[in-house]
């Protein structure tokens, strides 16, 4: 079996590894935008080019006689890569263009939930001009709004009151900037609580949640600094998260099931792939932040590193719409993933600086992202460079492992020491407890 | 609320299951399903009344000697096939199940199952939880060969484990492909579950397990009593019968079965529902004489049909005439009006016709099984007054309903319960009656437990006395749950 991985980050490295573990011994191929040395080592052939150009990817896939493809990042989904590959008879894990709008268009996603009366969305309005923007910002109130560009912005299209926007005036200026670029946008009520990610494998009918993960978007310790693609993430040995109740988990799962059947009805065909819900546990229950149409990065490293079932078998079943037949197992272990990123990341990162990972003790849990091999040295290209995953029976031990490994990486890089640390997690549990108590008193 | 039945037969079983459902129709008119087993599962289900769902061909197509069936009580917004039982899964082995009751920790269990087992579950219902817990139990550890004593012991172990995890009420009939019919009842025995047998001339036996005994006579089954609380029963393909109690907690059968839900000709936990209702009427008469010694009604009229028996006994004890002065069309079934959400008051007028000749110029005592929201009772009183009754009195065969039910009876949330917020005096005023009595808690328990070789320590009557089982969810959570359940 020939399997094609589309994308070349640490997420795709984790996918390639999961395929490489398969008893089916598939031959692996990759279409990426950079030459990821980790993926390179696992693949028979590697094409580096514009993966947002579906026809070029299809050409490669056909040349390699690909049986099964999986799409890592969102951008190719938006370009309809799944439509093109499937039309050519290549089974693909990932939603078609119309279905991927659940991620690629924020307004489509919110309207879908509204139309199908799926509860759990914050208040929102969409704008394609500046009319009414000020009034709506004032209606939500100072410090209680979020502005999202309506389209893929690589995580940079979101500004949150208090974190990035310090007054209605600043918020309005951001809207003006978006409007000047003719970008439509949404203004939403800001949610207070704890974020968590529920990623589900789905063929549109069968919906199987993977262990819950908490990602950390902000660049610096204590959740300070600008938003990034994600500095690291953790998952617990019981596959839930310590600050969540069973009702929270159930609400998120219910919402995802409802959204999948709404998508199927709206688009006339089932959503096949990974549906990644980003949720906020708030004092009044679980609210949806957004859906993504693919694996999260870094979440993919947490999840695939403890997946026990054969990933290639699962992907085949999923693409064939037969996921119901498969039993899906994850090891009952905690994971902590940490990214090492170049100094200056994300705003003014150092580029093309060398790094050395040779002292990492367990290279099996080292994942390459924005790095390339140049002669005998590795270069960090400027975005998130490498990730490590610590896996252990409990979070404390998993964090210790991850921290120990990431400290072995030499280069002009930094990482967040706090991710997965006990006191950091305890603060989150405490915060949720306080939020929920307030609710009871009211 | 629902009705369930499971039959081990020596002949094709589908027809007997169909007949059983007709005799369980009063336990649910919203949807029904039959599932039989012969190498594979055969399933037919649908929305509406049993007779509307199945035609002869449907029943004949359901092959096999073993089967289970279910009638579903209407649930809010549940007018879909998605939650119709029996439900089944094909792997790791074929297991099918039908369930009557309500799990109070299903949030927790669904979360556990989807997060730890990474299974797909219909998140809107609690029935799949039981199915998956059974499957998980049979999946996990090595299962003995065959279907004899050793296999039964394994089943006991699996169900015992389930008893420890699942809270709430559940009477379950289940089929295990290639093995047999598995039946169990929750450790408190909240929902009923009876069984019977039919002996053939060659000595072989058929077995039936059902919510009520109502179909036994018609099908030639002899009642053999109840599946005990916390008991596991298994009939394998050879017809070998095994039973064992694996986890008994205090026995708390639901008292509302006797008050309202069960068919009067049923015997549950060795108590005749008919006799229990008659004794409720007697006790009501005793209380009436004490409370209103100077008021003698001219006629006792039941709010049909559930309160007929109590009204008849009450009339007899008071020495006054019993009259069907409110006539209910027996063919009314479930009206379209009900699903369209017109108010309950209008529904009453659609179902009941007052007979002027039985009412005019009389002092009328209306007997109903209970007063829940108060809206139906009030409308009935209004109808009787419109037909020129001289005075109108009202008697409730059950005490004031003050709390929601978390164990499967469709009682609304506390906010809608009139007795949860109003005194007897103000309810009397609201109903616009000249006298009102409620059965006392003690009299009701006495009426149900006076006779029979039952071992009812205390029936579950949490909706009346507020004593919920210790493993009930907190009031906070309850609000959430009732909103979803009802």
The pLDDT tens digits for B262-313 are: 999 999 999 999 999 999 999 999 999 999 999 999 999 999 999 999 999 9
Q: Pick from A250, A327, A329: which is nearest to B123 by CB? A: A250
- pLDDT recorded at residue B138: 87
DSSP state of B257: I
Contacts 24+ apart (CB under 8 A), A438-442: A438/A283, A439/A283, A439/A284, A440/B476
Chain B residues within 8 A of A246 when measuring between CB atoms: 107-108, 110-112
- pLDDT recorded at residue B465: 93
In terms of Cα–Cα distance, which of B361, B382, B357, B404 is closest to B303?
B382
Report yes or no: B108 and B168 within 8 Å, Cβ to Cβ: no
Which pTM was predicted?
Answer: 0.83
Report yes or no: A179 and A129 within 8 Å, Cβ to Cβ: yes
Mean of pLDDT over chain B:
90
Interface of B to A at Cβ within 8 Å reads 91-92, 107-108, 110-112, 114-116, 118-120, 122-124, 476-477, 480
Chain A residues within 8 A of B476 when measuring between CB atoms: 440
Q: Looking at the complex, report in whole angstroms how far the Cα of residue B94 sits from the nearest Cα belonging to chain A.
A: 13
- pLDDT recorded at residue B342: 57
Whether residue B76 has pLDDT greater than 50: no
Q: How confident is the model at residue B480 (pLDDT cuts 50, 70, 90)?
A: very low
Nearest CA in chain B to A307: B118
Scored b (16 or more CB within 10 A) or e, A104-120 reads bbbbbbbebbeeeebeb
Q: How confident is the model at residue B333 (pLDDT cuts 50, 70, 90)?
A: low
Chain B residues within 8 A of A250 when measuring between CB atoms: 107, 110-111, 114, 123
Q: How confident is the model at residue B350 (pLDDT cuts 50, 70, 90)?
A: confident
As a whole number of angstroms, the distance between CA A50 and CA A34 comes to 9
CA dihedral B424, B428, B430, B431 (to 10 degrees): 130
Residues whose CB is less than 8 angstroms from the CB of residue A199 and which lie 6 or more positions away in sequence, other chains included:
A209, A210, A213, A274, A275, A276, A277, A295, A296, A299, A303
CA dihedral B477, B482, B484, B486 (to 10 degrees): 180
Q: Pick from B107, B118, B124: which is nearest to A246 by CB? A: B107
More confident position, B231 or B335:
B231
Nearest CA in chain B to A207: B120
As a whole number of angstroms, the distance between CA A307 and CA A14 comes to 11
- Grouped pLDDT means (10 residues each) for chain A, 442 residues: 97 98 97 97 97 97 98 97 97 98 92 93 91 93 90 77 88 92 91 95 95 95 90 96 93 95 96 97 93 97 97 97 92 97 95 96 97 94 97 97 97 96 94 80 44
pLDDT over 70 for what percent of chain B?
A: 92
A176: number of Cβ within 10 Å: 12
More confident position, B330 or B165:
B165
B140: preceding bond cis by omega (within 30 degrees): no
Tens of pLDDT along B137-185?
888 778 888 889 999 999 999 999 999 999 999 999 999 999 999 999 9
- pLDDT recorded at residue B141: 73
Please say if B2 is a catalytic residue: yes
Nearest CA in chain A to B90: A325
> Checking DSSP bridges between strand B241-245 and strand B194-199, what pairing results, if any?
unpaired
Chain B residues within 8 A of A235 when measuring between CB atoms: none
pLDDT average, residue stretch B248-258: 94
User: How many inter-chain contacts (A to B, CB under 8 Å) are there?
Assistant: 56
Whether residue B484 has pLDDT greater than 70: no
Whether residue B479 has pLDDT greater than 70: no
Tens of pLDDT along B458-473?
899 999 999 988 666 5
Report yes or no: A168 and A176 within 8 Å, Cβ to Cβ: no
Residues whose CB is less than 8 angstroms from the CB of residue A155 and which lie 6 or more positions away in sequence, other chains included:
A217, A227, A228, A229, A230
Place of tokens 């959503």: A271
- pLDDT recorded at residue B74: 67
Interface of A to B at Cβ within 8 Å reads 206-212, 238-240, 246-247, 249-250, 253-254, 257, 323-325, 327-330, 332, 440
Cβ of A247 within 8 Å of Cβ of B107? The answer is: yes
- pLDDT recorded at residue B481: 43
From the centroid of its chain, how far is CA B378? 26
- pLDDT recorded at residue B339: 44
Report yes or no: A199 and A210 within 8 Å, Cβ to Cβ: yes
Phi and psi of B66, rounded to 5°?
-115, 140
- pLDDT recorded at residue B472: 61
As a whole number of angstroms, the distance between CA B364 and CA B322 comes to 10
Tens of pLDDT along B57-66?
999 999 999 9
Q: Looking at the complex, report in whole angstroms how far the Cα of residue A200 sits from the nearest Cα belonging to chain B.
A: 9
Chain A residues within 8 A of B107 when measuring between CB atoms: 246-247, 250
Residues whose CB is less than 8 angstroms from the CB of residue A233 and which lie 6 or more positions away in sequence, other chains included:
A197, A213, A214, A215, A216, A296, A298, A299, A301, A302, A336, A337, A419
- pLDDT recorded at residue B485: 35
Find which of A199, A206, A247 to mutate to test the B interface (most B CBs within 10 Å of its CB).
A247
Whether residue B336 has pLDDT greater than 60: no
Q: How confident is the model at residue B79 (pLDDT cuts 50, 70, 90)?
A: low
In terms of Cα–Cα distance, which of A60, A131, A93, A142 is closest to A318?
A93
Report yes or no: A416 and A214 within 8 Å, Cβ to Cβ: no
Positive/negative CA dihedral, A411, A412, A415, A417: positive
As a whole number of angstroms, the distance between CA A431 and CA A243 comes to 9
């Amino acid at each position: 079996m020939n399997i094609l991985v589309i994308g070349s980050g640490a997420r795709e490295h984790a996918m390639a590894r999961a395929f490489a573990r398969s008893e089916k011994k598939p031959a692996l191929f990759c279409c990426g935008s950079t030459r990821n040395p980790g993926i390179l080592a696992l693949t028979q052939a590697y094409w580096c080019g514009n993966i947002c150009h579906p026809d070029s990817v299809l050409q490669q896939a056909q040349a390699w006689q690909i049986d099964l493809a999986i799409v890592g990042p969102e951008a190719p989904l938006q370009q309809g890569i799944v439509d093109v590959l499937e039309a050519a008879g290549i089974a693909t894990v990932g939603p078609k263009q119309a279905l991927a709008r659940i991620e690629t268009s924020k307004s489509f996603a919110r309207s879908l939930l509204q139309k199908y009366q799926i509860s759990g969305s914050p208040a929102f309005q969409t704008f394609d001009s500046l009319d009414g923007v000020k009034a709506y910002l004032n209606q939500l109130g100072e410090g209680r709004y979020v502005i999202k560009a309506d389209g893929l912005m690589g995580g940079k299209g979101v500004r949150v009151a208090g974190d990035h926007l310090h007054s209605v005036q600043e918020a309005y200026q951001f809207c003006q900037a978006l409007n000047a670029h003719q970008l439509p946008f949404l203004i939403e009520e800001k949610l207070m609580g704890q974020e968590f990610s529920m990623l589900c494998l789905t063929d549109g009918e069968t919906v199987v949640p993977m262990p819950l993960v908490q990602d950390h978007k902000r660049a610096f310790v204590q959740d300070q600094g600008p938003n990034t693609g994600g500095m690291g993430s953790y998952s617990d040995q019981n596959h839930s998260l310590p600050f969540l109740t069973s009702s929270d988990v159930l609400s998120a799962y219910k919402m995802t099931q409802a959204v999948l059947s709404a998508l199927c009805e709206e688009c006339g065909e089932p959503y096949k792939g990974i549906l990644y819900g980003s949720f906020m546990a708030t004092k009044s229950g679980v609210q949806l932040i957004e859906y993504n149409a693919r694996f999260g990065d870094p979440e993919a490293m947490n999840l695939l590193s403890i997946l026990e079932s054969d990933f290639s078998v699962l992907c085949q079943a999923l693409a064939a719409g037969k996921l119901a037949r498969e039993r899906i197992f994850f090891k009952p272990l905690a994971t902590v993933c940490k990214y090492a990123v170049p100094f200056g990341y994300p705003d003014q990162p150092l580029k093309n600086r060398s790094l050395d990972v040779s002292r990492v003790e367990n290279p099996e849990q080292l994942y390459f992202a924005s790095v390339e091999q140049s002669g005998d040295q590795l270069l960090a290209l400027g975005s998130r460079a490498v990730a490590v995953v610590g896996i252990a029976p409990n979070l404390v031990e998993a964090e210790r492992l991850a921290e120990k490994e990431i400290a072995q990486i030499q280069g002009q890089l930094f990482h967040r020491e706090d991710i997965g640390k006990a006191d950091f997690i305890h603060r989150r549990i405490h915060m949720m407890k306080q939020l929920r108590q307030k609710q009871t008193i009211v | 609320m629902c009705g369930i039945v499971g039959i081990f037969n020596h002949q094709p079983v589908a027809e007997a299951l169909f007949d059983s459902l007709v005799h369980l129709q009063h336990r649910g008119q919203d949807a029904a399903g039959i599932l039989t087993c012969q190498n594979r599962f055969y399933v037919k289900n649908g929305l509406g009344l049993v007779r509307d769902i199945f035609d002869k061909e449907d029943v004949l197509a359901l092959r096999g000697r073993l089967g289970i069936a279910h009638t579903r009580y209407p649930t809010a917004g549940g007018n879909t096939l998605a939650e119709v039982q029996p439900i089944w899964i094909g792997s790791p082995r074929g297991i099918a199940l039908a369930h009557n009751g309500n799990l109070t920790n299903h949030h927790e269990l669904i979360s556990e199952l989807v997060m730890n087992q990474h299974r797909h579950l219909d998140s809107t219902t609690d029935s799949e939880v039981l199915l998956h817990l059974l499957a998980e139990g049979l999946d996990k550890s090595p299962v003995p060969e065959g279907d004899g004593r050793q296999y039964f012991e394994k089943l006991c172990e699996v169900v015992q484990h389930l008893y420890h995890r699942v809270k709430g009420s559940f009477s379950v009939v289940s089929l295990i492909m290639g093995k047999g019919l598995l039946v169990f009842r929750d450790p408190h025995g909240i929902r009923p579950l009876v069984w019977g047998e039919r002996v053939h001339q060659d000595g072989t036996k058929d077995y039936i397990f059902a919510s009520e005994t109502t179909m036994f006579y018609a099908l030639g089954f002899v009642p053999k009593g109840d599946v005990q609380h916390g008991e596991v029963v298994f009939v394998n393909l050879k017809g070998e019968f095994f039973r064992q109690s694996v986890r008994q907690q205090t026995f708390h059968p639901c008292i509302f079965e006797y008050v309202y839900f069960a068919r009067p000709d049923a015997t549950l936990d060795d108590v005749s529902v008919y006799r229990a209702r008659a004794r409720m009427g007697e006790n009501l008469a005793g209380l009436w004489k004490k409370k209103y010694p100077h008021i003698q009604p001219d006629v006792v009229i039941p709010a049909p049909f559930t309160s007929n028996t109590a009204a008849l006994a009450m009339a007899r004890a008071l020495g006054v005439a019993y009259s069907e002065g409110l006539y209910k069309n027996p063919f009314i079934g479930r009206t379209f009006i009900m699903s369209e959400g017109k108010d309950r008051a209008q529904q009453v007028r659609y179902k009941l016709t007052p007979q002027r000749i039985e009412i005019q110029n009389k002092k009328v005592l209306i007997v109903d099984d209970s007063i829940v929201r108060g809206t139906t009772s009030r409308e009935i009183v209004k109808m009787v007054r419109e037909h020129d009754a001289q005075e109108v009195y009202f008697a409730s065969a059950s005490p004031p309903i003050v709390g929601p039910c978390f164990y499967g009876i469709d009682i609304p949330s506390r906010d809608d319960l009139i007795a949860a917020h109003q005194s007897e005096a103000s309810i009397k005023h609201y109903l616009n009656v000249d006298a009102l009595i409620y059965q006392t808690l003690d009299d009701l328990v006495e009426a149900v437990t006076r006779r029979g070789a039952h071992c009812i320590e205390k029936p579950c009557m949490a909706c009346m006395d507020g004593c919920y089982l210790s493993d009930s969810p907190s009031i906070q959570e309850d609000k959430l749950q009732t909103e979803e359940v009802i």
